Structure 1
Amino acid sequence: MNRTTLVLPAVLGLLVPALAACGAPGGEDDGRAAIVVGTTDQFVASKDNPAPFDPAIGYEVGVWNVLRQTVQTLVHVPRGGGEPVPEAAESCTFTDTQNESYRCKLRSGLQFADGTAVTADDVKYSIDRVIRVNAANGPAALLANIDMVETRGEREVIFHLRTPDATFPYKLATPAAGIVPRSKYAAESARAGFQVDGSGPYVMKPEVENNRVVKVLFTRNPRYKGDLEVRNDKVELALFPDAQAMGKALEDKKIDMMTRTMSPKQTQQLLENSEDGIKVTELPGLEISYLGFDTNDPAVKNKAVRQAMAQVVDRGEIASKVYGTTAEPLYSLIPSGITGHTNSFYNKYGEPSTPKAAEILRAAGVETPVKLTLHYTTDYYGDATATEFEILKKQFNDTGLFDVTVEGTAWEKYRPAQVRGDYAVYGMGWSPDFPDPDNYMAPFLDKNNFLNTPYKSDLAQKTLIPQSRRETDRSASVKTFQQLQDIVAEDVPVLPIWQGKQYVAAREDLTGVEWAVNSSADLQLWELGDGTV
């Protein structure tokens, strides 16, 4: 019988009880087959991105879901949410009241998977390396506030920050701060290919065809020493070209679970119709989808054009017609469920209105119709993206104020083109690096931002973002984040569209599914068990 499980989201500041999952016992490989998890993520080595799995380069959900299994971090966010706790470290803490000095002590006897000792110098090397490589669309911005990494002996590391930052422990919990062996990773250049080495819970082996990963086998790392409880011996990550192929594999019992990205139609069918032996689980979801703008492009450089688009977009139609129960309208970069969320776009623009949009353009002297191309990726966020952009096109064109066309591009070419500034308007999604309002603001508004956007707000960069990071009590920064959201609604460097929910479907005998994907869309394969215990 089909069962639907609802896992309630963890709200920042609240303690969520950790429910124990029964899974396979620990120990050496006992000969059982691997648990097989399906995904539609695609990993391709190309001229633009020859090193997809290098922690200094990779900054995508799918890539991080591979890195998290293999590369260990000093701290991690516990399964029920909340503040980071020690992982490779035995202890970590701020040593001053200003949140400018953060000290960690490594666990005794920590080793990489090849048996080499992990030392404080390895931690420093790994962090410094990400900052030095400073990849154009990589994660270096997460570590940009580090002024210096100091080591004391073999086990102690001290991070000296340029400015106070209460969110720094969350940043250390991301793969950007993963500890890697210097013998495998050059100090100032990327590690090409798909192999990943570290001290995490698994050793990985990728299977590659034509510079494209087709599957990854994760085998329990017998030398792993950390805070995570590994409930299985082997997990295989199987890659599929689309959600339909992944769903067929689950029906045929060729995989045990399918994760990102299930299609809205597929999810709805599984929720409504019984499928023998399959369980659907709803998980906390903090993913957002939005339109981004190259604010230097002549087509959208005038703020009035972006404001008019914000005035006419009908989020409710997109959510209901394209995504059904899997998404809801979003009126801010910070989604509901995160501290500081406010509906800034609704407060400013209200319901969709062509007359109001026409007045915005008329007052700014913008000639209509405004010609635009909306760009989207054909193979990264799922099949529904194309439908969403056709609806957006119709919404804009029906006003008579815009002359919009749409163009789809494969992700391996799409993302480099977006970073270069080839697109005036483009669709993107964002799953947080960590569940804090800062991670919905800084990646879009701060220096060296994720989108490489030319937009700049001095008030945001120089005052509000630094001010918010001084608050150890994140609820004390609510007013600051409301100001930041109002700036976005006024200037529209990005236009939020919807907030997603997460669903996974799995065989009923698979345990730990409710913990296998957290609210940041992080895949936690160590939580899965085969149901034999």
Structure 2
Amino acid sequence: MAGVLRVGNDAGFGGAETMDPYDGNRTWPTINMVFDRLIGVDKDFSPIPELALSWSSNDDLTEWTLELREGVKFHDGSEFDADDVVYSINRMIDPEFDSPILAVLGVISSVTAVSKYEVSLSLSTGEADFPLLLADYRALMTPVDSQSTIGKNPIGTGPFKMETFDPAGTTVLLANEDYFFGQPKLSKIEIITFADSQSAAQALAGDQVDLLLAIDGKSSAMFGDEAKFTLQNIPSGDWNAIDFRVDQEPFSDARVRKALRIAADRQVIADTVLGVGGGVVACDTPVWSADPYRWDGDCAKDTEGAKALLAEAGYPNGIDIDIYTSDVEVHMVELVTAYKDQVKDAGIRVTIKMADASGFWDDVWMKESAFVDSWGQRPATQVLNEVYRSTASWNPTGQVDKDLDKMLDEARSTKDQAERAKKYAQIQERLFENSAIFLPYHKTLTRAMSSKVKGVEPIVIDAVRWEKISVS
């Protein structure tokens, strides 16, 4: 065991970061280095064992049983067992705590320890893809009664344990030599915070960090020296969007919302923001192209249609809107810039408002009337419930659509996959007609690292095995 990995990270929560994985200000991906899930995903995004060795359900998909791995220790030496699972899941689904993951796992009505290494979960409705929901990057297992200390002094079962937590500077993790999947190849990981994505890229170029999880693909030329750097291009379900709050005018009008979404050429935006070949067009669906539930609709630019909708809504001379953005992450400024250019011929006049990167997610996101957004890849059942369900705490537009909620419940509880796929396609069609989110593309991620770094598979970061990474 040797080597130190330096990972660049952003400062998007303005110092409010916490290691509590269920908190909205959770520190990602650090939480996934310290904690483990019950179920993980492989490179094909299929569920695989982590702390749970196996799982099964009843016929109507409302009762699930998980068999747990024995002999796993937390970093303080205490044993992981079913009581920790019950405690962790009860925190996730506690309506008073209102964790963002409640929108994902709120389908759980109760969790019971059947024995020391077996748990039973009862769901309020059938969920055919429940194992994938438990593979959420925040569905991590924490020790019983750890809520008061976990934010700054986390104790997990993961491959690395906390030495120093400094979200505004450098967080230091040490290898967990007793990790159940095997001793990590690294002795230490340092997570170094940067004010913006450009500063992080310059740090990698200057050998101040070893790994950036995502860079602007158009900046790849900075790291073209193969003797010094390794680049990975990874098709993904990651996406950016422009969100319009339906509780603020003029976005309460569905005609305005649709006009704002059909006035742009999505392929031009994807090519402009991501570079040619840097992404796949999306018709306002968060379900990515490799997901079996993906709906491939038609969403060509319709300038005249947008003008007609605006006129019908009372804006015959066009409309003026402000959109907030930030360079807290790559592509967020480029998206709104490209969108502004695309929609001007429909009479949509955009003023770009730049927000400080250090507090964007706390001070701007979900608060201003229109803003740029960024989401990581999630399976269909998760992302549709987490982003669009009326009661979801991370529903960024505040849109309430009870009919959509009912459609989501019907889709998730349908046992036959072909029928389930049809229902998810109908949901995505409804989003294109009624949503307040302009979602133009899914990204091909570009990851950059020093050539000294080995063992980082070209897969989404939630599936990366940190214990297998080394630095020569």
Q: Distance in 1 between matches of 2:431 and 2:131?
A: 26
Amino acid of the structure 2 residue aligned with 1:255: V
Whether contact under 8 Å (1:286, 1:520) holds in the other structure is: no
Q: What SS does the aligned partner of 1:300 have?
A: coil
2:404 corresponds to which residue? 460
Report the Cα offset of residue 358 of structure 1. 1.6
Q: Distance in 2 between matches of 1:229 and 1:53?
A: 22
Amino acid of the structure 2 residue aligned with 1:343: D
* Identity between Structure 1 and Structure 2 (%): 21
Structure 1 position 217 matched with structure 2 position 172: yes
Whether contact under 8 Å (1:71, 1:198) holds in the other structure is: yes
Q: Distance in 2 between matches of 1:147 and 1:42?
A: 33
**Given the superposition, is the C-alpha separation of residues 134 and 141 from structure 1 closer, same or farther in structure 2, using an over 3 Å criterion?**
farther
Amino acid of the structure 2 residue aligned with 1:132: D
Moved more, 69-78 or 275-284: 275-284
Cα deviations by residue, 1:262-296 (Å, 9 ceiling, x for unpaired): 123322554xx445332212123211111212112
TM-score w.r.t. the length of structure 2 is 0.90
Whether contact under 8 Å (1:373, 1:406) holds in the other structure is: yes
Q: CA-atom RMSD, angstroms?
A: 2.7
Report the Cα offset of residue 137 of structure 1. 6.3
Q: Please list, as runs of the form range in 1=range in 2, the aligned pairs for 1:83-482 lying within 5 A after superposition.
A: 83-94=46-57, 96-132=58-94, 134-135=96-97, 138-186=100-148, 193-208=151-166, 212-225=167-180, 227=181, 230-260=184-214, 262-270=215-223, 273-325=224-276, 326-333=278-285, 334-344=287-297, 346=299, 350=300, 352-376=301-325, 378-382=326-330, 384-399=331-346, 401-411=347-357, 413-417=359-363, 422-432=367-377, 434=378, 436-449=379-392, 450-462=394-406, 464-471=407-414, 474-482=417-425
Q: Distance in 2 between matches of 1:74 and 1:54?
A: 17
Whether contact under 8 Å (1:205, 1:217) holds in the other structure is: yes
Q: Give the aligned length.
A: 469
Q: Distance in 2 between matches of 1:521 and 1:74?
A: 14
1:53 corresponds to which residue? 19
Whether contact under 8 Å (1:100, 1:161) holds in the other structure is: yes
Report the Cα offset of residue 367 of structure 1. 4.3
Amino acid of the structure 2 residue aligned with 1:327: G
**Given the superposition, is the C-alpha separation of residues 282 and 490 from structure 1 closer, same or farther in structure 2, using an over 3 Å criterion?**
same
Q: Distance in 2 between matches of 1:58 and 1:414?
A: 13
Q: Distance in 2 between matches of 1:88 and 1:493?
A: 38
Cα deviations by residue, 1:398-438 (Å, 9 ceiling, x for unpaired): 43x2332121223554334456x532222112113x4x222
Cα deviations by residue, 1:12-69 (Å, 9 ceiling, x for unpaired): xxxxxxxxxxxxxxxxxx5x331223334555434xxxx5321221366xx3411111
**Given the superposition, is the C-alpha separation of residues 412 and 193 from structure 1 closer, same or farther in structure 2, using an over 3 Å criterion?**
farther
Q: Distance in 1 between matches of 2:439 and 2:396?
A: 17
Amino acid of the structure 2 residue aligned with 1:451: N
Moved more, 353-362 or 469-478: 469-478
Report the Cα offset of residue 475 of structure 1. 4.7
Whether contact under 8 Å (1:91, 1:105) holds in the other structure is: yes
Report the Cα offset of residue 461 of structure 1. 0.9
Whether contact under 8 Å (2:7, 2:209) holds in the other structure is: yes
1:3 corresponds to which residue? none
Q: What SS does the aligned partner of 1:526 have?
A: helix
Structure 1 position 525 matched with structure 2 position 470: no
Structure 1 position 496 matched with structure 2 position 439: yes
Report the Cα offset of residue 455 of structure 1. 1.8
Amino acid of the structure 1 residue aligned with 2:245: D
Report the Cα offset of residue 131 of structure 1. 2.1
Q: Distance in 2 between matches of 1:57 and 1:292?
A: 22
Q: What SS does the aligned partner of 1:386 have?
A: helix
Q: Distance in 2 between matches of 1:283 and 1:149?
A: 36
**Given the superposition, is the C-alpha separation of residues 468 and 412 from structure 1 closer, same or farther in structure 2, using an over 3 Å criterion?**
farther
Structure 1 position 507 matched with structure 2 position 450: yes
Amino acid of the structure 2 residue aligned with 1:33: G
Whether contact under 8 Å (2:236, 2:460) holds in the other structure is: yes
**Given the superposition, is the C-alpha separation of residues 456 and 447 from structure 1 closer, same or farther in structure 2, using an over 3 Å criterion?**
closer
Amino acid of the structure 2 residue aligned with 1:39: N
**Given the superposition, is the C-alpha separation of residues 474 and 38 from structure 1 closer, same or farther in structure 2, using an over 3 Å criterion?**
farther
Q: What SS does the aligned partner of 2:442 have?
A: strand
Whether contact under 8 Å (2:113, 2:119) holds in the other structure is: yes
Which runs of 5 or more structure 1 residues have no equivalent in the other structure?
1-29
**Given the superposition, is the C-alpha separation of residues 322 and 84 from structure 1 closer, same or farther in structure 2, using an over 3 Å criterion?**
closer
Whether contact under 8 Å (2:104, 2:382) holds in the other structure is: no
Amino acid of the structure 2 residue aligned with 1:245: S
Q: What SS does the aligned partner of 1:111 have?
A: coil
Q: What SS does the aligned partner of 2:311 have?
A: helix
Whether contact under 8 Å (2:14, 2:362) holds in the other structure is: no
**Given the superposition, is the C-alpha separation of residues 506 and 413 from structure 1 closer, same or farther in structure 2, using an over 3 Å criterion?**
closer
TM-score w.r.t. the length of structure 1 is 0.80
Which runs of 5 or more structure 2 residues have no equivalent in the other structure?
none
Moved more, 123-132 or 175-184: 175-184
Whether contact under 8 Å (2:236, 2:288) holds in the other structure is: no
Whether contact under 8 Å (1:345, 1:489) holds in the other structure is: no
Whether contact under 8 Å (1:87, 1:228) holds in the other structure is: no
Q: Distance in 2 between matches of 1:392 and 1:526?
A: 41
Q: Distance in 2 between matches of 1:366 and 1:243?
A: 38
Amino acid of the structure 1 residue aligned with 2:8: G
Whether contact under 8 Å (1:327, 1:498) holds in the other structure is: yes
Cα deviations by residue, 1:450-472 (Å, 9 ceiling, x for unpaired): 2254323333211x212221345
